A and B are shown apart, each in its own frame.
Chain A
């Protein structure tokens, strides 16, 4: 090789090296190119503070003087980050209308404790959360991680902003954009909308003249074939219900309650004698001295999330509260830093009745109940004793099976005028004078209002005109039920050592009336109703209801959407009341159906009913969809869903109904109103884009445990980002129902829809027509609120609201309404939380039930047997009464899966990057011994199989979970909300794999194998979704 050729080669090699360098060095080179102007990155706003937000205002630390930042406003509204619905203060950039950050509303009891009195000037409230004199440390008003991250929903790339109509079959993830007006027309008028044949529109379905089923006239009119569903009342339900119940007139409406916490709520309702609304209580954290959290996890989740978390943390740090967390999984409630005050005791899923009955047994056996309190039989007795509320512990239950009122309480009307009785006159059954009979200490039978102290344990015969009747006091009945098993049997069943149960009972008893029990989501097992009833019974036995440091009802809310002082938002000309039977076969006794009668008439055993009828349960979404698709009791023709996502949230629902849901012959029309495409509305025919939080009008209520009365107000503090209607209103749930009602000519919407106190009728053409009038009602209730002043208006960011006020309300109402919005709602003073002595300010006044006659006289439509009227031991069963373990034996399905809420996520938060960056995945909790048995190590991949499906997961192996149980953190394992790619007008939309990471226990749910009409596994009494205690097996997967 000659010289020059060699040189050429070397030169070429050098060039090659240089080229490799150029490629490899491109990164720094690009930076250098940028850096020529001074910085290789984005140059931040400030050399020290970087891009930190400019403060919304400043407070002079010497003088306390406050100066606003003119570029920002802070407005008060509500957070949708979870169902807690806290009142928040939101910083908005005036120049861009973008939300900068969220923090708590200091007037709001769900965000601060104590909350500020409403009369505090807004400027003072703002100062109160500042560093001035360290005020903000005590005056802190917070927003949680979700509440902060939620601002991402507004600009989310996964947000639906246009009206969509499906392309192809349901669920194909293909859509086309249509105008709002076309959408309304197609939905109302129907037609061959999808090239699949005729679809009935709402006009056709809105038929009140013909019965939905002539053979079963009790089912009601055809109009019941519209089903409305929503998540829960995020403050706007009033409009949805006004449309559904009272304008359109359908019977069928469902919300997420039945797969949220219905088993708990009904168990609580049974105890609180409220089978209509299922009242419940929460601990008075601030004053409680001992608490049991069983199946609820304050500070991990819970409603109200922040308030509970804050109060629990404070109480344990101050040392005022000791508590035990009884839960299959360890969670954030049990604090290692405060280990001497908080303790976690693992329990086997779905075994809570065993624990509750063991506790009840021990307390009764050791007479460790509030005997004096329980002995008070009537309001008169408690009033005399200066107490709040009484119980029916001493009330006498008619035990003779052939007595017409078997299972009910013995009343004066049952006694007649029999000689020898202290009852002299006969009274009419059901009249005010028809008092309950009790046995006074000493042995005489008397009307309860005449007795201050009654016998607790009574079991005897009573002479009545109908002969001798056996009666038993409620407490005696409870004792008998509790003694059906031994403590050891209960212990064996729930997996908690008998000695530990005893120790817990001793401690509980030692705190007397300062001990309190709380439960919630853990009751979503197959034994949840009686579990919750039994656990709430502990509060009753302790005598802690309505007491400071005990079980608190809370203050309730200012309801603006009823018949208020300014406007009647409940009634309107032409209002309808819904008729007929709920498609969920609830609130209606099977025995009252034509079907039952037909069977009886035919001489057949009417039991079991074709599918469960649950006389005690409210309308339940857990049954509505599946039953309607199976056509029993009747089929539905249209579903309008707002914000709800049952296919993600209800265990086993997807698999149980999906093929039928896709079939347009079973369901003609499915309209979803939502901000996002979720696992359920993915199968919709139309999606109506909706406002998200901060863009909506509404009023949200209070949670139990919020000791004062309150209502949170929200209004569109920023301009909604979705499309507008031709009239220029944002497309939303409200504009959808208004437009639909107007097109169908339904009453209650359009002009002349809202009666005013002045006798005039006012229009309902925009959302604010409704909500601003509700605001006027709230502002004028009780003692009307003052009028706003200039300073308040300036400091509360309500400027954008003012034009709406002017155009909607008369001048005389505006000042007070503005005052309300300037503080984000209406809030009773913190001082109202407490009453005199040990009383709480707000109390539950109905008799608390040791025995609930309504429950005790209800018949199980499958077995024909009566339900127990007191809490009782129960094991997981299917609808026909077959024990779960008979169908899915332990040797095949050795573990029980349960789920628990994520402390950072919620069911629809997975699209938020700022939460995913903290918790991108949910490893499943496996006990060390269970893991060892199947050769699984911490961090391994496992396959979890159930009778309903299988999922792959990573195992977090530790002793932080009950042996034999497997815990799955909820809110992961999505297939939608951004996880899957859709095509809108052929353009790709969403499709981020990380949004779909993790597992959802509900994919392991299954259809109840004993049912004829398809349905998932539901709790027997309530129909609540069973998501705790699913039989599973786990195996190691090579990765």
Chain B
């Protein structure tokens, strides 16, 4: 029994809604998938080409949708222009508000450059409206040099690093939430983001029908690496806490100590992480396993990346700061809860499908000057059951 019993204490609601989770999730996928795309698209590594195409799709789709989620987390969404009217260089969020459009622009530019050859090809393919649209998107027949493409890639990489730093720092500087206030949190965001990105690419690899064995191999390898990194970060974080360097460990242990819900979350999260690492490690070993389990591990990885953000952003907000215990938070059904979460995934799906429909992303090329190979039959890209089974070449 404690020596203190609370009789009247205030309750507080949460300030950041699940939109924030969606944003942090999507934006982490965005910048990490960009990195995954880099070897192929920017460095021109041929064996990485399939992965890069998928990663670019992942990157563009998430980069497009993330700001939409972010906007919703503003209680005054239409005042977003205040960010630009009142630049505030000492605020990480303000810095982010400038980085985000840059990042969006840079990734879109990069993707556009990578997709243009194929778009141009499709524009000539006589595919009715689809060709016409491809032509519009391609916006002329001119060519840019590979150098420019590399420059665009580097710019995008630069913004993605900015995104990584700002999203991490934005949360980690918040002293008011001991659980956030640790230098390890940004690293964990990156590690779990990488895990998520690999997972997403594995899933896309499967549902797009690309089924690139290279991709499966590469992604599982990175995922294992990211898992190990995440484990290492977690351990270091814990040791820091044990060493009283980081108060967030104490806060975390406290929470786990006091709440059954936190205990089960911690156990669940731990199990999911370790399971993922072990399974990824095992699945990684043979092509058959990679083919069979890759996408499932991808889903699990996405789950891990998303749940990590949910716990960090939502659950942490329920830890009372002035009183013992936890504030009640139940995910509401409506816009600021469940339907909002689903809505953003809906938008993401829409984005993916629109790209799928309008952009021959499978033919994204390393060299914007090289003419694209003839467009592969669209059916190859189908998600239909009929297309499953036979390994295909991208």
Contact = CB atoms under 8 A, between A and B. Distances in A.
Interface of A: 1, 3, 6-7, 10-11, 13-28, 31-32, 35-36, 39-41, 918-919, 928, 938, 956-960
Contacts of A23: 335, 339, 343
A28 B72 contact: yes
Nearest to A904: B8
Given A16-B346, A18-B346, A35 B77 contact: yes
B72 A21 contact: no
Interface string B343-385: 1111111100110110000000000000000000011001110
Given A16-B346, A26-B339, 13 more contacts: A7-B130, A10-B357, A15-B350, A17-B347, A18-B346, A21-B344, A24-B344, A27-B336, A31-B78, A39-B76, A918-B8, A919-B8, A956-B5
B79 A17 contact: no
Contacts of A6: 378-379, 382, 384
B382 A24 contact: no
Contacts of A7: 130, 357, 378
Contacts of B383: 10
Contacts of A32: 77-78
B353 A17 contact: yes
A-B pairs, top 6 by smallest CB distance, nearest first, are A24-B343, A27-B335, A20-B346, A35-B78, A17-B349, A17-B350
Contacts of B357: 7, 10-11, 14
A25 B335 contact: yes
B75 interface: yes
Contacts of B343: 20-25
B347 A18 contact: yes
Nearest to A37: B78
B390 interface: no
A21 B350 contact: yes
A1 B377 CA distance: 13
B340 A14 contact: no
Contacts of B260: none
A622 B278 CA distance: 75
A935 B352 CA distance: 56
8 contacts: A10-B356, A13-B353, A19-B346, A20-B343, A22-B343, A27-B72, A27-B335, A919-B8
Interface in B114-132: 130
B95 interface: no
A16 B353 CA distance: 11
A14 B8 contact: no
Contacts of A938: 5
A336 to B, nearest CB: 10
Contacts of B1: 928, 957-959
B349 A3 contact: no
Nearest to B7: A956
Interface magnitude class on chain B:
35 or more
Contacts of B378: 3, 6-7
A101 to B, nearest CB: 21
A26 B77 contact: no
Nearest to B76: A40
Contacts of A25: 68, 72, 335, 340, 343-344, 347
A7 B347 CA distance: 18
Nearest to B336: A27
Contacts of A919: 8
Nearest to A7: B357
B342 A24 contact: yes
A617 to B, nearest CB: 37
B334 interface: yes
A11 to B, nearest CB: 7
B77 A40 contact: yes
A25 B73 CA distance: 11
Contact of A1 (B340, B348, B384): B384
Identify the interface centre among A1, A6, A919: most chain B CB within 10 Å of its CB: A6
B5 A958 contact: yes
Contacts of A20: 339, 342-343, 345-347, 349
A420 to B, nearest CB: 69
Nearest to A330: B7
Contacts of A956: 5, 7
B341 interface: yes
B335 A14 contact: no
B347 A31 contact: no
Identify the interface centre among A10, A19, A919, A957: most chain B CB within 10 Å of its CB: A10
Contacts of B335: 23-28
B386 interface: yes
B71 interface: yes
A786 B379 CA distance: 101
Nearest to B78: A35
Given A956-B7, A960-B5, A21 B347 contact: yes
Contacts of A35: 76-79
A18 B350 CA distance: 6
Contact of B386 (A1, A27, A36, A41): A1
B346 A27 contact: no
B389 to A, nearest CB: 15
Contacts of B340: 24-25, 27
A7 B353 CA distance: 9
Contact of A40 (B68, B75, B342, B347): B75
B108 to A, nearest CB: 19
B177 to A, nearest CB: 24
A23 B333 CA distance: 11
Identify the interface centre among A6, A24, A40: most chain B CB within 10 Å of its CB: A24
A435 B384 CA distance: 115
A953 to B, nearest CB: 15
B378 to A, nearest CB: 5
A13 B342 CA distance: 14
A956 B4 CA distance: 12
Contacts of B341: 24
A956 B7 CA distance: 8
Contacts of B384: 1, 6
A3 B379 contact: yes
Contacts of A18: 346-347, 350
A3 B77 CA distance: 40
Contacts of B386: 1
Nearest to A12: B353
A19 B343 CA distance: 8
Contacts of B354: 14
B83 to A, nearest CB: 14
Nearest to B385: A1
Contacts of B342: 20, 24
Contact of B75 (A11, A21, A41): A41
Contacts of A31: 75-78
A1 B382 contact: yes
Nearest to A33: B78
A928 B1 CA distance: 8
B353 A11 contact: yes
A347 to B, nearest CB: 20
Nearest to B386: A1
Contact of B346 (A21, A28, A918, A959): A21
Interface string B184-222: 000000000000000000000000000000000000000
Nearest to A937: B1
A783 to B, nearest CB: 48
Contacts of A24: 335, 339-344, 346
Nearest to B340: A24
Nearest to A16: B346
B359 to A, nearest CB: 12
A528 B318 CA distance: 47
Interface in B1-29: 1, 5, 7-8, 19
Contact of A14 (B68, B336, B345, B349): B349
A3 B382 CA distance: 9
A392 B341 CA distance: 81
Contacts of A16: 346, 349
Contact of B71 (A11, A19, A28, A918): A28
Identify the interface centre among A16, A31, A960: most chain B CB within 10 Å of its CB: A31
Nearest to B335: A27
